[in-house]
Amino acid sequence: MQFELKVYHPREGVRHLQYAAPDEAEARRQAGEQGYAVLSLRRPGLSLRRPPRGRLRIQLFGQELLALLDAGMGLIEALSVLARRARDADSRQSLQRILLLLGEGQTFSAALASMPHAFSTLFVATVRASEQTGELPEALRRYLAYYRQLNAVRDKIVSASIYPALLLAVGGLVIVFLLSYVVPRFGRVYADLGEDKVPALSRLLMRWGQLVTEHGSALLAGAVATLALLVYVCTRPAVTAAAQRTLWRLPRLGEQIRTYQLARFTRTVAMLVKGGVPLVTALDMTGELLQQPALRAGLDAARQAIREGGGLSDAFGRHGLATEVGLRLLIVGERGGDLGGTMERIAAFYDEEIAREVDWFSRLFEPALMTFIGLLIGGIVILMYLPIFELANSIQ
């Protein structure tokens, strides 16, 4: 009989393996002999054990489960209540599957791990660590706080981007309207004046209007094709990677992108360590948060150094996984023994630094963008009316 196992190894990380065994116990034993910790197990093709594909809204699920547990309900009773009042079929199916696996004797974390499409690895690790201490409500509370803090900076960046994006969209539409509709009509009006009576810049603008009038369909098709080509090119992985490398090389922006990634990474490690997850395991689980190749390589080297007995602050400092201030805080925290709390404070410091940069950028960029668009639109309008002013002066 074949069994599919999701296993974890300190050196290899999380893997999916298949074992031939007469029963589940033997499959678990075989994996254990090879040094793997079994996260979940299922038989291929067994419909009751096939995980649902939808992802739960983990934040909402955690909030509701925490509220029911704080009200005095047991875990199974709380999950039953959530399953009955689930808002969609995927959520209901996921919760019913958890109840089924709990009824078979599996732990809560193992039940969650069997559905990677519904529950993130970090959430599963948080629950698994709480099972060692029996403090599931506290673990959920810690995860929800982490989730809120992680989204705070991202929400601030998104909020700061809304006004410039709206300004660009409206300004772009106004410019397109002027160049494609208003300018061609002014061009027909000025055609009878003669080119010698129209200023040079206005003449160029009027020729654009004439081009739009005569070849409007071709210009529209070309613009659509160019836009489609740009979208296609920008979605290619190689182009995306090249754009990311270019952004990372920019002096100030690259440093802030690095700080943002370090903030997410540090806060996630802090949450896992405070929940009881071993440091090296936490570093293994959070490596995907570092998208910059230099940071990824630094994390790999730092993990190896820590496995060999090196200190965390020394490994992070040597391989560029902390800023100068963050490294000093880490050294102090390592001496005091409060590693989780220290890393949380470092992440908060990073978040404050990013928030200051976003605020500075918004105050500088928004007026500059508004001025640029205003000058562009105003210039087009002035060039359209300039021949009229010239004609009025000649009459006087």
DSSP symbols for 49-101: GPPPSPPP-HHHHHHHHHHHHHTT--HHHHHHHHHHT-SSHHHHHHHHHHHHH
pLDDT, position 44: 53
Q: Phi first, then psi: what are they for 351, rounded to 5°?
A: -60, -40
Query: What is the pLDDT at residue 228?
Result: 92
CA dihedral 42, 44, 45, 50 (to 10 degrees): 40
Strand order across the 2-9 sheet: 13-20, 2-9, 37-42
Phi, psi of 18 (to 5 degrees): -120, 140
Single pTM value for the model: 0.68
pLDDT value at position 8? Answer: 67
Pure H helices in the chain:
24-33, 58-70, 75-84, 89-103, 108-113, 121-133, 136-177, 183-190, 200-234, 237-249, 251-274, 279-286, 293-307, 312-318, 324-336, 339-395
Q: What pLDDT shows up at residue 229?
A: 92
Structural domains of the chain in order of their starting residue, each with its CATH number: 1-50 (no CATH), 54-119 (no CATH), 135-141+150-396 (1.20.81.30)
Per-position pLDDT tens, the chain of length 396 = 667 777 766 666 666 777 777 777 778 888 888 877 777 777 654 433 444 444 567 888 889 999 999 988 899 999 998 888 887 777 888 888 888 888 888 899 888 888 888 888 888 888 888 887 788 899 899 889 888 888 888 888 888 889 899 999 999 999 888 888 888 888 777 776 666 667 778 888 888 877 887 887 888 899 899 999 988 888 887 888 788 788 888 888 888 889 988 998 999 899 888 888 888 888 888 887 888 888 889 999 999 999 988 888 899 999 989 999 999 999 998 888 888 889 999 999 999 999 898 889 888 988 999 999 999 999 988 888 887 777 767 665
